[in-house]
Amino acid sequence: MTRVAVTGGAGYIGSHMCRRLAAHGHDVVVIDDLSGGHRDAVRWGPLRQCSLLDAPALSQALRDARCDAVIHFAGAIAVGESVADPLKYYAINFGGSLNLLQAMRDAGMRRLVFSSSAAIFGEPRQSFIDERHPIDPISPYGRGKAMVEQLLRDAAPAYGIDAVALRYFNAAGADPSAAIGESHDPETHLIPRLLRHVAGERGPIEIYGDDHATPDGTCIRDYVHVDDLCAAHLAALEHLDSHPGFHAFNLGNGNGYSVREVVAAVHAVTGKHVQARVAARRAGDPARLVACPDRARAVLGWHPATPSLEAIVETAWRWHRAPAY
Ligand code: UDP
């Protein structure tokens, strides 16, 4: 059994991670400032309310938590907003991670799993993005994530802080029991926006550009079930037991779906009509982002349990029909 500090544990992916850690017999301490997360999503361990930007408080929180490892989710998440407000993204995502590493050093903690992103790759140079793809982000969000990865690469030999960066493609879906789910304010992500629309909570959906270099002109993404992402984090923690240093894995199903295909999946699952209109492209959006997940499969033994887009949307829809927060 391990005792794990989860930054951003009140958020979407973080709360699913806490649930999975507890189910596998691990102890959890949530570190979250509740700026984006939800108090009601903290159910599997105590909450230490603390901002990553408050370095002394963070350092104290980690010392008090007495954990063996950190899983680091806390951060700002909207690519479009990062283009409009880069300072916010560098401060929270890079500055916050810098403080976290310093606090881990102070607390003598030596294992970290970091939420990285496919956004570090920028415009893809190959159809299926593997770990050898050049890191060349095109948004401040992606650049901030890439900078944290560089920090971790340097910190491993210098301080003996071993780390795994997991580059998520598009996290989606919810816990099948619908106890927790995805709830952002404002909501920028495609699937929850579509589900709020068909639930009558918001107006028509805007499709950001139908003139991309893809078969139907809309952007292609690789949607991964949130619980499958969490399974990879557990495997990554175990990997660090026998493999010190810095490691990185791309986490996707290797299947790409266009925005129009996601609209069709939402219609198929909910039986409801989607009103969508084409709008301008969103700044910082590559046309296609699809993973080659071979390395995560081979090295971590990661085999997603819910790869089907409709099954992913179905779990998200269960949550959206009766969200608890
Ligand atoms: N998208 C869209 N309309 C929306 C929200 C998103 O067309 O209201 C598109 C977006 O341009 C991207 C895809 O849907 O190509 C997935 O976007 P999301 O924000 O969910 O995730 P991201 O790919 O930015 O991580």
239 is written with which tokens? 């990997």
Dihedral angle, C-alpha 101, 144, 93, 18, nearest 10 °: -80
Over 90: is that where the pLDDT of 240 sits? Answer: yes
Percent of the chain at pLDDT exceeding 90: 97
- For residue 148, give the nearest of 70, 222, 37, 237 by alpha carbon: 70
Measured by CA distance, the residue closest to atom 18 of ligand 1 is 189
Q: Rounded to whole angstroms, how far apart are CA atoms 20 and 115? A: 16
Residue 298 CB partners (closer than 8 Å, separation 6+): none
Pocket lined around ligand 1, Cβ cut-off 6 Å: 79, 170, 188-190, 193, 205-208, 219, 221, 259, 282, 285
Q: Is the pLDDT of residue 119 over 90?
A: yes
CATH superfamily of 190-221+254-321: UDP-galactose 4-epimerase, domain 1 (3.90.25.10)
The CATH topology of domain 3-171+223-251 is Rossmann fold (3.40.50)
Ligand 1 probe mutation, 129, 189, 275, 277, most atoms within 8 A of CB: 189
Q: How does pLDDT run across 16-48, given as a tens digit for each residue?
A: 999 999 999 999 999 999 999 999 999 999 999
Burial (0-12, 13-18, 19+ Cβ within 10 Å), 132? exposed
Q: Can you tell me whether residue 124 is helix, strand or coil?
A: coil
CA dihedral sign, ordered 313, 319, 323, 325: negative
**ipTM score of complex:** 0.99
Are the beta carbons of 205 and 197 closer than 8 angstroms?
A: yes
**Could you give the CA distance from residue 92 to residue 76 in angstroms, rounded to a whole number?**
7
Share of the chain above pLDDT 70, in %: 100
Tell me what pLDDT residue 270 has. 98
User: Global pTM?
Assistant: 0.97
> Residue 283 has what pLDDT?
84
Domain residue ranges of the chain, discontinuous segments joined by +:
3-171+223-251, 190-221+254-321
- C-alpha distances in Å from residue 59, one per residue of 92, 96, 113, 140: 16, 12, 18, 27
